[in-house]
Chains A and B, each alone.
Chain A
Amino acid sequence: MELSNKVKKSVMAGMAVTMAATMLVGCGGGDKGGAKGDSKVLKVGVTNFADTLEPTQNFFAWVVMRYGMGETLAKFDEKMNAKPWLAESWKIADDHLTWTFKIRDNVKFSNGKPLTAEAVKQSIERVFAKQNRAKTFFEYESIEAKGQELIIKTKKPVPNLPGQLADPLWLIVDVSAEKEGRDFAKQGPICTGPYVCESFTRDKCVLTKNPNYWDGEVPYEKVEVPSIDDPNTRAMALQSGEVDMAVNIAAGDIGLFRNNDKFHVDEIASLRTVLARINQKPDHILSDKKVRDAFISACDRKNYNEVLLKGTFKEGSAPVPPSLDYGFDQLKDPNKYNVERANKLLDEAGWKDTNGDGIRDKDGKPLTLDFVVYNSRAELPLYAEAVQADAKKVGIDVKVKSVDYNIIDKMGINGEFDLLISNITTAATGDPQSYLNQYWHSNIDGSNPQNGSGYSNPEVDAKLDALNSEFDKDKRRQLIIEIQQIYLNDAAGLFLGYPYTNIVSSKKITNAIMHPADYYWITKDIKPAK
């Protein structure tokens, strides 16, 4: 078919227009990185999970606190001890039930109203009214406000009440502001922190300086917090200078910022433990302590954390992570990596490979274990597969069963596993008491349903009960260390590793620090560098 020049011309013209249009769109409003060197505006790249700023909904209070809006009566230091914050001091009466908190008298809410004990009382009552989780922290007989004194009488002794009240759920809001029409969910609550919400969506939060802040000068006029869920994109935004700091840069990207004189990496072990619960009910293979010991000894945990996970996790051994001061270094792990010992123990337990298939067996039954994992945390399947490979070397056949996050809890309670992995917060309130109770306190007729693994040791129960009502800090610490040592001796669980968390910041700002309690990201201390 012959085509005229005209056709050619019109087609070409069409293409030219196309190209031009694409180029034009492509050039629309180029602007090289916004945040560079601005001493009035701080920009922070995060991942946000909250759709509203109502602190009593789901876990949204974490965001209110992380963004520098909310503050609690007590604040955790770097060893997770509760220190005075909005309360300047507290004391416990001899009945071990009555706590008196002295509220600072120089604190104002961001709307200028003074922070009184009555305001704190209303805020605490509001949490109880709106969130079921409240009572897992403590239950109260009465709350009384006298001037700047807040008196809380608990139903049961709560040794760590200041720590419980340092959880973000208990950040103090001005309840009267809500009555006057402030929509906490959409506009953000009225709190006492250095910054106040100006606008909020899940994707971006803009904060402004709290003009009534009580604790010194607030360094920035404005803080912008875009939520950048993709870790690669977050790293790029930091590299380009679009954000001044970013929370949790991924393993693959952190190398870009280490040994780079433009950035500062602050990295610490978090409060989490990657734990594989071990089912030791009588009808399970791992009820035999020798097999448990052998299994744990076969796992090269140093390798998993340092090589496989590129050092983004710390090698696991004890139940409570080393970020907390509960004797991590003095605990003795009897089941350190030792393949020889693992083989010997399995032989002793009567598991031998009689049919030569590489898997040990006993009474015609192969040594096969179900390892339940969920995928929503990327490291968990990696751990499981690494354990599987190591177990194979000593003749244990591990079957990795991948399930949805939402059924992990149920499978744990029902004991539908030989091993079940989770990445668990051990001390959200500064103290591992609930964690140590929840998985290992004896479950007698459903007294502790979360212990679905059948672990039961009267000595542990006695120590846990003592811990639950002990108020003396040193004695508590000692008990926690002893309990951990028994767990290790009993092979009560496989403690695989502890994740590191990080904040990476441009050197144009200072004091961007990651705390073990993952609640304090944007603080009054973050300032432009001089």
Chain B
Amino acid sequence: MGRKELLHRLGQMLVTLIGVTILTFGLTYIAPGDAVDAILETGDTLVSAEVVEQTRHELGLDQPFHIQYLNWLTGLLHGDMGISYSAKMPVVDRMLLGAPGTLALTGIAIVMMLVVSVPAGIAAAVYRNSFIDYLSRVLSFLGVSMPSFWVGLLMLYIFGLKLGMFPISGGEVDLRHMVLPAATLSVVMISKFTRQVRTAVLEELGKDYVTGAQARGIPMNKILWHHVLPNACLPLVTLLGTYIGWLLGGVAVVEMVFAWPGLGFMAVRAIMTRDFPLLMGFVLWIAIAYMVINLIVDASYYILNPRLKKRGGE
């Protein structure tokens, strides 16, 4: 990737970011109710209208849309994302509380997925229509069909309550607490990714260069590991990128079931409480995460597919 293209990409990212923030800010603004109702619990507590108005004024929520947005943007450019209304602490601090959990869970879940899916997918492709292939197909369907909160509860019931292998109550980021939520997430991802690995490998196996290599007497083993797999990687890397992006956004349902401190549940609460500053911080994080991942995925094409490098260098 040349310098010119990199600059071009960065410019695109900036425009996208501004668009994303305006859109999110606008949607939250037109959504009925505001943070004051959530903070003071006006729906089911006795609070006087005077207190509600005073609080609204203090938070600046009585100002028009563009002023609120510009205030936020000015703050952001000074490195200040504001104070979360619901958490009553700087947005960055609140997000840093959830970030380790989300990053750790993402890492472990992706590793679990790769460790299972890649060999299983290759096996299913290599032994197409064999018992292994059918078994992986059935398990994949099963895995995709089960909702993750249910898988999570099932795992807690079996491995936590019945076998006592893992803690149930969560709340801490360490390996012991991480295994079950990561396994729960990887069940769905494994189910999808295995099928995708199988398809990608099958497609490559059917190509002429494989037949050619075989004709030249190159052992199948070598063809598979040296030629087929690197080529099959291209589409898989793209998919991997979207999975990582999805996980980095936090997975509210799984976090809730396992009492896991991550960003997903935080984001859901931010939406419920109309906590603009926190929500905006989260949206920025997601947008940047996706863009960086896409950039890395694109860059990886140049490494995986040398032909692109040649063209790009011209």
Contacts and interface: CB of A to CB of B under 8 A. Distances in A.
19 contacts: A6-B220, A22-B115, A22-B116, A26-B159, A26-B165, A60-B88, A132-B54, A185-B88, A202-B261, A203-B172, A227-B171, A229-B265, A236-B161, A237-B168, A405-B38, A407-B33, A409-B42, A428-B45, A450-B49
Interface residues of A, number: 79
A430 interface: no
B43 interface: yes
B220 A7 contact: yes
Contacts of A176: none
Contact of A240 (B37, B168, B256, B265): B168
Nearest to B37: A406
- The winner among A227, A236, A450 for most chain B CB atoms within 10 A is A236
B176 to A, nearest CB: 5
Interface of A: 1-4, 6-8, 10-12, 14-15, 17-18, 21-22, 25-34, 45, 51-52, 54, 57-60, 132-133, 135-136, 185, 201-204, 226-230, 232-233, 236-237, 239-240, 242-243, 272, 374, 376-377, 403-410, 413, 422-425, 428, 434-435, 438, 449-450
Given A3-B126, A407-B37, A428-B46, 16 more contacts: A3-B220, A7-B220, A26-B165, A28-B179, A33-B164, A34-B167, A54-B88, A132-B58, A135-B51, A204-B172, A233-B153, A236-B160, A236-B168, A407-B33, A408-B42, A409-B42
Q: Which 8 A-B pairs have the closest CB atoms?
A: A406-B33, A409-B42, A51-B87, A32-B164, A204-B171, A14-B119, A408-B43, A203-B171
B219 to A, nearest CB: 6
Given A11-B126, A227-B171, A409 B52 contact: yes
B53 to A, nearest CB: 10
A372 B268 CA distance: 23
A403 B32 contact: yes
B54 A424 contact: no
B32 A404 contact: yes
B166 A30 contact: yes
Contact of B120 (A18, A203, A228): A18
A202 B32 CA distance: 27
Contacts of A1: 205, 214, 220
B48 A18 contact: no
B38 to A, nearest CB: 6
Contacts of B116: 18, 22
B241 interface: no
Contacts of A12: 123
A232 to B, nearest CB: 6
Contact of A18 (B119, B160, B161): B119
B138 interface: no
Contacts of A30: 163-166
A240 B171 contact: no
B259 A203 contact: yes
Given A201-B97, A227-B171, A406-B38, A136 B48 contact: yes
Contacts of A34: 167
A377 B45 CA distance: 14
A22 B265 CA distance: 27
- The winner among B42, B47, B115 for most chain A CB atoms within 10 A is B42
Given A6-B220, A237-B169, A132 B51 contact: yes
A345 B88 CA distance: 53
- The winner among B84, B94, B165, B171 for most chain A CB atoms within 10 A is B171
